Structure 1
Amino acid sequence: MSAGSSRRSDHQFLCSICLDVFTDPVTVPCGHNFCKHCITEHWDTNGSSDCPLCKESFQRRPPLRVNTFIREMVAEFRCEAEQRSSSSSSSSSSEQQDAKPGEVPCDACTGTKLKALKSCLVCLASYCETHLKPHLTVSSLKRHQLAEPVENLEDRMCSKHFKPLELFCKTEQTCVCLLCSVVDHRTHEIVPLREEYEARQAELKKTEAEIKQMRQKRRLKIQEIKESAKISRDAAEGEKAEGVQVFVALREAVVRGLNEFVKEVEDKQETTEKQAEDFIRDLEEEISELKKRSCEVKQLSRSEDHLHLLRSFSSLNPAPPARDWTEVSVRPPPYEGTAARAVATLEETLGKKMKRLLAEAELRRVQRYAVDVTLNPRTAHDDLRLSDEGKRVQHKENRHLKQNIKTFYHDIFVLGNESFSSGRFYFQVEVKGNTYWALGLVKESVDRKGLIEMSSQDGCWILWLRKRKENKALAPPSDARSDPKKVGVFLDHQKGLISFYDVDAAALIRSFTGCRFPEKLYPIFSLYGDDSGSLSICPVNQTV
């Protein structure tokens, strides 16, 4: 056993938190050992249960029991350490060492200074083992106060009475000797130096704990700032991507408008040039015919045969019909205003394009806050049938209604399982093909047994559609241009905002602003009058 003990490293018995020998050693699930007090304080400070060495995190704080085997090993280690200390003391008595730099030398040694073992607060000198013997054997010197070897012993003595500074004046906050307390500080509050030392030690430990807590808070603040910076960085990257997409689309629209403008001008010029070419061709053909007739006339006019001239004159080709070119001209097309009209058209196109792109960007922004919403069967009206995965609801009329404290009894509704009390959230529902549906958000205390007033004043922010033969209306009717196939619901709790989106059209249907949410909010859904239809909570796919 002793052989094994001699091979043991002292570090095996040190707690990695306090760096001291184990006190009540405990073992955490990952296998590492700590003082029970140290690991408990570490968990309380950090607010989470993990191993300070390997950083393994535990879902729940494990129960801590003292490891008796390690405790016995530590006790044996302490005994061995004390034996080594006493052995070291005895060996030093027989074999003294020279004073090294930083060690207190013996003041009585001449030549080579030996290491001092004690300092006398009366003699104001430090002594090695040999020169200390008189203070251990001579009766008059035995009364001198010995202390661990220290330098500058004069600083530890009263400069007025040459007595040890062993008292503390709390009134003047200074160290004094026994005579000072009687002569100069007799009316002051005097305490032993050790008592004040222990009080200051307690203050230092309290300050150290406060500093440790402040450091921990600042570490958490650093983590919080880093997380905020990361969120800001991600938001900036997303915003840049959205902006680039918008400006690229606008640039393409501008280029397309420019090309259309240039083509319009070039088409007009091409038409004008073609008209001029046609006129010139006709004129050149007439000139050719006239030239031919002129040759015939000239040749006949030179004939001296009377009979031939008369016979040939009657057979001479008639003059071709001559076109009146007086009013014919090539007029340049009216180019004035073409650029202005092109710019106006481009402006209108860009306005529509920008509105569409901004709407798509806004929808993509809110879709980043998508959450998984499922239906709560315990709240469903008996006429509603939910799918096993809690994502789809159908209307199936049931004549045997059951009473349940959480179930909707009068109005045909069902709530979602998830509640929202802070932050931002988004979910979307496929509603196409249904003639009567409703969805949105309601307060937790919504009346499940009576009629629900679907108004924001009553804590209900609901969008509904009811189709009839004579008309179609979406509440409020002025908010809808067509029946949406897929509706997105967005909540910004801090801003008091609830918005409904037509996902396929990337268009805002309506928004509730300036809302107050004193209670938790729950998703709410309704489907009525069509046994073949269904409402489906669908996943968010940012492809807009």
Structure 2
Amino acid sequence: MAAASALLSEDQLQCSICLDVFTDPVTIPCGHNFCKRCITLHWDRDLKYQCPLCKELFSARPELRVNTFISEIAAHFRESIQKKASGTSKEQEAEAGEVLCDVCTETKLEALKSCLVCQTSYCETHLEPHQRIPGLKKHKLIHPVKDLEDRICKKHERLLEMFCKSDSVCVCQFCTETDHKAHDVVPLMEEYEGKKTELEMMEAHVQLMIQERRQKIEQIRKSAKLNKEDSDTKKESSRQLFTALIQSVEKSFAEHIGLIEENQKTNEKEAEDFIKELEKEISELMNKTSEMQHLLHNKDHFQFLRSFSSLKPAPPTKDWSEVRVHSTLERTLRRAVTQLEETLKKEMTKLLDDIVPRSVQQYAVDVTLDPETANVELVLSDDGKQVTHGGVPNLPDSPNKFSCYAVVGKQRFSSGRIYYEVQVKEKTDWNLGVVKESINRKSSFNDGFWALGLKSENKYYVGNYKISIFLKTKPEKVGVFVDYEEGLVSFYDVDTAALIYSFADCNFNERLYPIFNPCNNNGGKNSAPLIICPVN
């Protein structure tokens, strides 16, 4: 056995939890070895049975039995180390800061034990009488300490071996009979064990807090990564859409300029034609004027009258009083601006639809209603996609069913992102959203419920009828988006790509269900169903 232990190094016989040579080593199912106390405490505070090295998870707590073979090797190894250390300590002087033997006169060696009765620290040589003489064997020996005088009651010169819980102070036996007689006093070891257990529990709690925060860091990193990927997708989508929008505006601008230039050419041609026609009439009128002036200068009465009777009337002319060069520029501009406005609206709608809803639509899930949870008065379609209030109970009641007119989806989730769309068209009352798995299905929802609803045709609210909101347009289809890690629930008007409302910083901490409430059919006025629609 000594030969076997000599071939092993300290690292091979070291517990990976306490980083010391094995004490009562045990082997767990995955094959790794640990001190029995170390792995027991680890599992006590970790609340799950997992190997600290390979992280293999066990469904039940493994039964621990000491590995006698490794235990014997570790014991021999520890003994050889102690002998080697003991031999070295006899040959060397104690280093600075170590407890020195109070008996050594010349070269003071390192103390091996301190005696609380003698109030003296001894090296291995001077400790020998305490290990041999019966009277000295009864003395209380502890690991060497420098403050021996602090462990002795200054009033009674007795060992401080009791603890007064009333005053939180160490006392001797005589103190318990005098100054601390009526106090709550226990043995020092008992208080030590109690406080040690309390400290271990505190340490386990701190370890749990550390683990929770490490998990939160991973969640935040994962969320940040998803947000970056989402942002990159949105940036590329926005770049493409704005490029298309700019190209559309530039195309409209070019067409607009072309229309102006075409209108200008038409106006110029029309003006030239009018001028030519006017110049022709002027020429004819000037000829007639010359003829009349010639006749006016004739002084011969006979010739004048004969010529006048044969004088032809003035040539026919157009009435130019209402003639204008009509410009269609204003009408053209108005039509072009109207077309541009329609194009911009179309592109902006597309932009909003692509950037906002599409970014959440990529997380679309297929939701189907669970008939086992439906209120007894609800009617579900055969495909589990529609629900309406039927008016009369058609299903037997059970603890899983809601007392209100509600039903949840079969799908439940506790991480990631989901999105689904519900048609609310032609309904006067409804609400939908998500609820915690632990929600009380037989009472009103006060917590663990995130929903959007319509009440009395025109009053929208969020939560449990607590917060009213105003909507410019009445949504016909509502999109529901949930980001579990971010604690976010958002509702969208699918047709207008508008965000209706968001719940932020929600504390989910358990599984969630989609929930649907078509509300009372109100004598047929609210008979339209809630319909789970496929996401385009």
TMscore range, shorter length: 0.5 to 0.7
Counterpart pick for 1:207 among 191, 202, 207: 202
Instruction: Give the equivalent residue in structure 1 for 2:68.
Output: 72
Instruction: Give the equivalent residue in structure 2 for 1:97.
Output: 92
CA contact (8 A) 1:496 1:517 kept: no
Inter-partner Cα distance in structure 1 for 2:131 and 2:43: 51
Counterpart pick for 2:217 among 222, 236, 254: 222
Inter-partner Cα distance in structure 1 for 2:358 and 2:236: 11
CA displacement, residues 259-308 of structure 1 (integer Å, 9 cap, x when unaligned) = 222222222334445667889999999xxxxxxxxxxxxxxxxxxxxxxx
Q: Using a 3 Å threshold, how does the CA distance of structure 1 residues 420 and 79 change in structure 2: closer, same or farther?
A: closer
- Kindly report which structure 2 residues correspond to 1:179-190, keeping only aligned pairs within 5 A, or say none: 179-190=174-185
Inter-partner Cα distance in structure 2 for 1:49 and 1:148: 35
CA contact (8 A) 1:366 1:490 kept: no
Q: Structure 2 counterpart of 1:72, which letter?
A: T
Counterpart pick for 1:250 among 245, 249, 261: 245
CA displacement, residues 153-206 of structure 1 (integer Å, 9 cap, x when unaligned) = 222222223322121112211011222222222222222211211111111112
CA displacement, residues 308-336 of structure 1 (integer Å, 9 cap, x when unaligned) = xxxxxxxxxxxxxx999997999594645
Instruction: Give the equivalent residue in structure 2 for 1:517.
Output: 516
Q: Using a 3 Å threshold, how does the CA distance of structure 1 residues 495 and 137 change in structure 2: closer, same or farther?
A: closer
Instruction: Give the equivalent residue in structure 2 for 1:368.
Output: 362
Inter-partner Cα distance in structure 1 for 2:43 and 2:156: 53
Inter-partner Cα distance in structure 2 for 1:496 and 1:102: 65
Instruction: Give the equivalent residue in structure 2 for 1:533.
Output: none
Instruction: Give the equivalent residue in structure 1 for 2:26.
Output: 25
Instruction: Give the equivalent residue in structure 2 for 1:353.
Output: 347
Inter-partner Cα distance in structure 1 for 2:361 and 2:173: 80
- Kindly report which structure 2 residues correspond to 1:51-66, keeping only aligned pairs within 5 A, or say none: 52-54=52-54, 61=59
| TM-score for both structures, normalised by structure 1 | 0.53
Q: Using a 3 Å threshold, how does the CA distance of structure 1 residues 243 and 168 change in structure 2: closer, same or farther?
A: same
Q: Using a 3 Å threshold, how does the CA distance of structure 1 residues 74 and 160 change in structure 2: closer, same or farther?
A: same
Instruction: Give the equivalent residue in structure 1 for 2:13.
Output: 13
Q: Structure 1 counterpart of 2:69, which letter?
A: M
Q: Using a 3 Å threshold, how does the CA distance of structure 1 residues 4 and 338 change in structure 2: closer, same or farther?
A: same
- What is the Cα-based RMSD across aligned positions, in Å? 5.3
CA contact (8 A) 2:2 2:76 kept: no
Partner secondary structure for residue 517 of structure 1: strand
Instruction: Tell me the number of residue pairs that the alignment of Structure 1 and Structure 2 aligns.
Output: 378
Give how far 1:112 is off: 3.1
Inter-partner Cα distance in structure 2 for 1:349 and 1:192: 89
Give how far 1:232 is off: 3.5
Q: Using a 3 Å threshold, how does the CA distance of structure 1 residues 22 and 64 change in structure 2: closer, same or farther?
A: farther
Partner secondary structure for residue 178 of structure 1: coil
Inter-partner Cα distance in structure 2 for 1:80 and 1:265: 104
- Kindly report which structure 2 residues correspond to 1:246-395, keeping only aligned pairs within 5 A, or say none: 246-273=241-268, 333=327, 335-336=329-330, 339-359=333-353, 364-365=358-359, 367-371=361-365
Give how far 1:237 is off: 3.5
Q: Using a 3 Å threshold, how does the CA distance of structure 1 residues 43 and 353 change in structure 2: closer, same or farther?
A: farther
Give how far 1:240 is off: 3.7
Inter-partner Cα distance in structure 2 for 1:420 and 1:83: 62
Partner secondary structure for residue 174 of structure 2: helix
CA contact (8 A) 1:28 1:62 kept: no
Inter-partner Cα distance in structure 2 for 1:118 and 1:341: 105
Unaligned runs of 5+ in 1: 286-321, 375-417, 428-455, 458-478, 481-487, 509-514, 520-538
Inter-partner Cα distance in structure 2 for 1:37 and 1:125: 33
CA displacement, residues 349-395 of structure 1 (integer Å, 9 cap, x when unaligned) = 22233334444556634541244799xxxxxxxxxxxxxxxxxxxxx
- Kindly report which structure 2 residues correspond to 1:163-174, keeping only aligned pairs within 5 A, or say none: 163-174=158-169
| TM-score for both structures, normalised by structure 2 | 0.54
Inter-partner Cα distance in structure 2 for 1:25 and 1:137: 36
Q: Structure 2 counterpart of 1:16, which letter?
A: S
Q: Using a 3 Å threshold, how does the CA distance of structure 1 residues 361 and 224 change in structure 2: closer, same or farther?
A: closer
Q: Structure 1 counterpart of 2:516, which letter?
A: F
CA displacement, residues 229-258 of structure 1 (integer Å, 9 cap, x when unaligned) = 334334434444444444333322322222
CA contact (8 A) 1:36 1:64 kept: no
Partner secondary structure for residue 104 of structure 2: coil
Q: Using a 3 Å threshold, how does the CA distance of structure 1 residues 252 and 187 change in structure 2: closer, same or farther?
A: same
Instruction: Give the equivalent residue in structure 1 for 2:418.
Output: 424
Give how far 1:115 is off: 1.3
Bigger shift: 10-19 or 328-337?
328-337
CA contact (8 A) 2:165 2:184 kept: yes
Inter-partner Cα distance in structure 2 for 1:43 and 1:160: 46
Identity value in percent: 42
Partner secondary structure for residue 424 of structure 1: strand
